[in-house]
Amino acid sequence: MTATSDREQIAALAARANDNRVNLDFETEGMTLNMGPQHPATHGTLRIVARLDGEQVISAEPVPGYMHRGYEKLVEVRSYPQINTLVNRIDWLGSFANEVPFILAAEKLMGVEAPPRAQWIRTILFEMSRIANISLFLGDYGLQLGAMTAGFYAFRDREHVLNQIEAATGGRFHPNFDRIGGLKDDLPKGWITDSHRAMDKLLAFCDELDDLLVGNEIFQSRTRGIGVIPRDIALSYGLSGANLRASGVDWDLRRDSCPPGLVYDQADWKVWTHPDGDCFGRTWVRLQETREAALIVKQLLDTIPSGPVMAKVPRIIKVPEGEAYVETENPLGAMGYYIISKGDLVPFRVKIRSASFNNISVVPWVARGAYVPDLISILGSLYFILGDIDR
Amino acid sequence: MTLLLAAFDPPYWVSTLIKVLVISIVVPTTALILGMVFLFKVMSWMQSRLGPQEAGPRGTLQLLADGVKFLQKEDIAPFGADRFIFRTAPLVVLMSTLLLYVALPASAHLVVSDLDVGVFYVLAVSSLSVLGVLMAGWASANKYSLMGGLRAAGQLIAYELPMVLAVLGVVIQAGTLSLNGIVFAQANGSIFGWDAIGNPYILTQFVGFFIFLAAVQAELTQPPFDMPVAESEIVSGYQVEYTGFRFLIFFLAEFATAFVFAGIASVLFLGGWAVPWLDTASDWYYVLGPVVLFAKVMIVSFIIFWVRFTYPRFREDQLQSFAWKILIPLALANIVVTSVLKVVL
């Protein structure tokens, strides 16, 4: 129990007394609720210190850092192929997507470009990891709002995608498949037909979830108009990905500034936005993106060119001196690597820009005045992965 | 055998002893059955999982294994908790459940106490569990528990009223407050002169049935009304500090209450222990009654648990407005229509 002398709290109480919603004659003492680091709604070890008045949140402060693994320092003593294994673990649900911007930045420094076939497969796997990531979000969000079954359906159908990723790369979660100048291997036999089938199942899953969860009235009453992030706030907090698009900003790195090495321009697809900026908007945009990703994969599968999957690169990779920043539209939002190389086997410094860190920075703004159950809706819909926050 | 049972007329102390024994066996058994069948197996199938496989044939003994595990755990009371109240709270909740079983008739004679005001008694003692929940929430000295306890109190009180009003329609139609009387009225009733299946009140009181089930769902704190124990928000609410045996009692009480409420729903709306073509005075009901009631209970429980596994949860204020703005006016309208028709027809 905190003292009421806290300045912020009094200010908030006074502000609410002004709009006649709170009667100050009936003074209540605030309560500090410490959510986490061990709390089911925080996907791991995010800690949120919330000041409550009754069940209303007066202020909420996310405290990250309980899972800091020091990647930016670790990569300074590892060669580029070794780093590739490491960065897989940043956003662990869409691991292949973490490799791609790093490899692209290294390729940019070295001045090599992957052969077309490798670019195609890279894009397909990138989108598959997006589906694996976001389909789990859709189920998990249901779980957080109390609909248990949606979570299990998501786990069941994500398996189709993970099987395809495993068949191609050998790893379900951490493929470590992308290489500077191409890919480790070519696709196995029959993979393309299997992938088509997996994508069909994923599209059916999206329809099912649309029926079961997103169309549900209770779900809508829990998410519509909750946690509204207006356009200018979203931009000023540096949100990215679906969180930004749900606030009505039509911005997608895949379309707007796709780095060389990915072939999104070869498929016909659409960037979805939602005008409301509430929890429902964020969920809906993600649902549409999963569908869109499945369609991108299906189109690209039909047009994979033949040829090698690896360009000519030296056995021992030394990246020439220079600096490069490459950013891609990852499942969680914009993710980039800023590599400074001094021409060694190891990079001099790597700065990782991950989406979740920025995405949760808006929590204090958006959680103010919400109820505790709404706080769960908001946190869930912002969708962060702890590894992506703390790195 | 049925004749033997009918002729069985023991002295008072023997019958009391038998009743105590039966209740103390029936309550955990029903909780085990519901937990096993619905929480483990049906839920797993609905969620495309296998569920327990290893313990016993087809995993049927899993819940026993879990129960034994709970008994082995240390009984911890948190530092700063009000120990006496903390320890009594689960017993209060369980007591409320036991009291409910007293009035549930499994046939005309197979009932612990055939009360003239059975419906009234059931509705009264079912709200006692709030006391235990509130005690647990308050005495745990935990903020999540406190919020859970208060949510539970607000919710259970809000849903007493729709439940009472929903049952009133049945009472008006049957003209009695006795649970056995309601069964007789349904079995001997007729639908516009056609008396082949009696007159189960679900046909006329379907609104009441819906409201009753919604209120039961809230009483049991199950989704979509499970805010008091929401795992993803307040980490199981008032149960969060309980370990081992005391947690097991909460668990038993929850499922036993689900069973007995399903039983009351089947007595009130589905004709209870009676079978349409058999006269209610028949001695066969000593054997048949419990079986029929059990079958109906399983059907009602299936609906309860189906909803539980499907829906997301409401927010606390949405729940209150659902109770006060939708269920209660609906129940009142139902009562008015029932009374008018009762007088007219």
What's the pLDDT score for residue B110? 74
Q: How many CB atoms lie within 10 A of CB A301?
A: 18
What's the pLDDT score for residue A25? 54
> Which one has a higher pLDDT value, A134 or B288?
A134
Cross-chain Cβ contact A221/B49 below 8 Å: no
Q: Which of A145, A219, A279 is the best substitution to test chain B (most B C-beta atoms within 10 A)?
A: A145
List the beta bridge partners of residue B254: none
- Does the residue B145 lie in any domain? yes
What's the pLDDT score for residue A285? 92
List the beta bridge partners of residue A57: A52
Using a CB-CB cut-off of 8 Å, the residues of chain B touching A40 are 231-232, 235
- Does the residue B12 lie in any domain? no
What's the pLDDT score for residue A21? 45
B40 touches chain A (CB under 8 A): no
- Over range B78-88, report the average pLDDT: 84
Cross-chain Cβ contact B313/A213 below 8 Å: no
A-B C-beta contacts closer than 8 Å: 77
What's the pLDDT score for residue B5? 65
B311 touches chain A (CB under 8 A): yes
* Stretch (H or E) spanning A51: strand A47-53
Residue appearing with tokens 């809000």: B158
Q: Which of A205, A209, A372 is the best substitution to test chain B (most B C-beta atoms within 10 A)?
A: A372
Using a CB-CB cut-off of 8 Å, the residues of chain B touching A212 are 310
From A33, A152, A222, residue closest to B312, measured CB to CB: A222
Q: How many CB atoms lie within 10 A of CB B127?
A: 16
Q: What is the pLDDT of residues B207-254, one digit of tens each?
A: 888 899 888 888 888 878 888 887 777 788 888 888 888 888 888 888
Distance (Å, whole) CA A304 – CA A191: 12
Residues 6+ apart with CB under 8 A from A250: A271, A273
Distance (Å, whole) CA A129 – CA A133: 6
Cross-chain Cβ contact B311/A221 below 8 Å: no
Residues 6+ apart with CB under 8 A from B266: B272, B293, B296, B297, B299, B300
Residue appearing with tokens 């009733």: B189
Spell out the alpha helix ranges (H) of A35-94: 71-74, 80-87
- Over range B76-91, report the average pLDDT: 85
Distance (Å, whole) CA A67 – CA B100: 49
What's the length of chain B? 345
A55 touches chain B (CB under 8 A): yes
Determine the topology of domain A71-390 in CATH: Cytochrome-c3 Hydrogenase; chain B (1.10.645)
Using a CB-CB cut-off of 8 Å, the residues of chain A touching B49 are 152
Q: Which of B50, B150, B315 is the best substitution to test chain A (most A C-beta atoms within 10 A)?
A: B315
Using a CB-CB cut-off of 8 Å, the residues of chain B touching A371 are 315-317
- Over range B80-84, report the average pLDDT: 83
What's the pLDDT score for residue A14? 56
Q: How many CB atoms lie within 10 A of CB B58?
A: 13
Per residue of chain A (391 residues), give pLDDT as tens: 344 455 566 666 556 554 444 444 555 567 777 787 877 776 778 888 888 877 788 888 888 888 888 888 888 888 888 888 888 888 888 888 888 999 999 888 888 888 889 999 999 999 999 999 998 888 888 888 888 888 888 888 888 999 999 998 888 888 888 888 888 888 888 899 999 999 999 999 999 888 888 888 888 888 888 888 888 888 888 888 888 898 888 888 888 888 888 888 888 888 888 888 888 999 999 999 999 999 999 999 989 888 888 888 888 888 888 898 998 988 888 888 999 988 888 888 889 888 888 888 888 888 887 888 888 888 888 888 888 888 7
- Does the residue B49 lie in any domain? no
What's the pLDDT score for residue A19? 47
* Stretch (H or E) spanning B143: helix B143-174
Using a CB-CB cut-off of 8 Å, the residues of chain B touching A138 are none
A170 token code pair: 């050998």
From B48, B226, B234, residue closest to A152, measured CB to CB: B48
Spell out the alpha helix ranges (H) of chain A: 7-18, 71-74, 80-87, 95-110, 116-144, 148-169, 191-209, 217-223, 231-236, 242-245, 253-256, 279-302, 355-360, 363-367, 372-382, 386-390
- If phi > 0 it is left, if psi is from -120 to 50 it is alpha, else beta; for residue A96 that is alpha
3-state secondary structure of B113: coil
> What percent of chain A is helix, strand and coil (3-state, nearest 5)?
50, 15, 35
Contact B185, B124 (CB under 8 A): no
Query: How many domains, in total, are found in chain B?
Result: 1
Q: What's the mean pLDDT when you consider all of chain B?
A: 83
> Which one has a higher pLDDT value, A130 or B80?
A130
Parent domain of B266: 80-344
Contact A305, A116 (CB under 8 A): yes
Cross-chain Cβ contact B223/A148 below 8 Å: yes
Query: In chain A, what are the domain boundaries?
Result: 7-63, 71-390
What's the pLDDT score for residue A10? 60
Chain A closest-CA separation from residue B235 CA (Å): 7
Chain A closest-CA separation from residue B313 CA (Å): 5
What's the pLDDT score for residue B180? 85
3-state secondary structure of B283: coil
Q: Cα-flanking dihedrals φ and ψ of residue B317, to 5°?
A: -70, -35
Res B112 pLDDT > 80: no
Please provide the distance, in angstroms rounded to a whole number, between the alpha carbons at the two ends of chain B: 43
Distance (Å, whole) CA B179 – CA B182: 5
- If phi > 0 it is left, if psi is from -120 to 50 it is alpha, else beta; for residue A165 that is alpha
Contact A139, A151 (CB under 8 A): yes
A184 touches chain B (CB under 8 A): no
What's the pLDDT score for residue A137? 87
User: Chain B: residue nearest A377 by CA?
Assistant: B233
Please provide the distance, in angstroms rounded to a whole number, between the alpha carbons at the two ends of chain A: 33
Contact A279, A116 (CB under 8 A): no
From B46, B233, B318, residue closest to A372, measured CB to CB: B233
Distance (Å, whole) CA A25 – CA A27: 6
* HSE toward the beta carbon, residue A6, CA cutoff 13 A: 17
